[in-house]
Amino acid sequence: MAKTVPLLQRLVEEGYFPDQKTAAAWVLGGKVYVNGQRARSGQRVDVQATLSVPELALRYASRGGYKLEGALQAFDVDVRGRVCIDAGASTGGFTDCLLQHGAGKVYAVDVGFGQLTGALRQNARVVNLERANISDESLLSLCPRPTLGTCDLSYLSLIKAVPYYDRILGGQGELLCLVKPLFETSDAEAGRTGKMPDDVYAPLLKDLVHTLEQDNALSVRGVAASPVTGSGGTVEFFLHIALGTTEHRRNLHQDIDQSVLRALTLLPKEKDNADV
């Protein structure tokens, strides 16, 4: 029997909408299609079913592409001609963004199966590495070796993930890491409710940067707020990391404070617009 999941769950997890409330409103409005047929409220769908929301007109495979686009602009990172690895690829929002910005090759890594969109599967510049974990030894022998890594991982702290990237990239290159605060905190209440007080973000980011630089030969060169919210309207951030060097380290406390302020004051507008 084919595996089915709630339609709203897929719509949120695959980046169409920031939360199930917004997704439900679009379904009720008759704007969501499953295998070409208008979706129904409360519908369950096959995990392989084709979803479409024509009115969204996304430029990338998912909303995640807009997150990475913001990071590329914030940190002035040029990906043209570069070999990249995108872990937590899912439907391919980050991968698509890298390609559209000129990447020469992208290794799309995900523990799941069948999630990468068809167009990306067929793209000659994409190596689809399904059912693979960022910790898999097979990623250490990628040829050509990536020089840029992007990270959109759930249920794994960057404190554990970054060393895996360091090994894959051979101790050099750079990373653009999406920080999901809920997966960086030890607060059980936050993990249960999916909500965090506004005043915990800056200390969390400062501790994260400190730990990453203390435990690894790298420099966190910058921090920026994601221009797009995560699932449930959660605020997220990006770290720009240079591997194999400590020369670019600097005090990022002011940048972190400004990024948190931007996230908390500007991103609610993004969420409100998504509810329209």
- Taken in order 55, 106, 111, 116, the sign of the CA dihedral is positive
On whether both 102 and 21 belong to a single domain, the answer is no
According to the model, what pLDDT value does residue 2 have? 64
The string of pLDDT tens digits covering residues 74-95 is 999 999 999 999 999 999 999 9
On whether both 182 and 46 belong to a single domain, the answer is no
Return the minimum-mean-pLDDT range out of 26-35, 71-80, 101-110, 200-209. Answer: 26-35
On whether both 196 and 214 belong to a single domain, the answer is yes
Helix, strand counts (H, E) of the chain: 9, 12
Percent of the chain with pLDDT over 70: 95
Domain range holding 222? 64-274
On whether both 36 and 74 belong to a single domain, the answer is no
pLDDT-derived band of residue 13, with 50, 70 and 90 as boundaries? confident
Closest C-alpha among 91, 109, 87, 106 to residue 153: 87
On whether both 138 and 240 belong to a single domain, the answer is yes
On whether both 82 and 49 belong to a single domain, the answer is no
CATH number of the domain encompassing residue 40: 3.10.290.10
On whether both 51 and 159 belong to a single domain, the answer is no
On whether both 100 and 231 belong to a single domain, the answer is yes
Beta bridge partners of 218: 243
On whether both 111 and 238 belong to a single domain, the answer is yes
pLDDT-derived band of residue 55, with 50, 70 and 90 as boundaries? confident
pTM: 0.80
User: Using CA atoms, how far apart are residues 123 and 139, in angstroms rounded to an integer?
Assistant: 20
* Residue scoring higher pLDDT (47 or 69): 69
Write down which residue in 36, 56, 76 finishes a domain.
56
pLDDT for residue 18 is more than 80: no
* Residue scoring higher pLDDT (53 or 99): 99
On whether both 22 and 111 belong to a single domain, the answer is no
Tally of structural domains, the chain: 2
According to the model, what pLDDT value does residue 267 have? 53
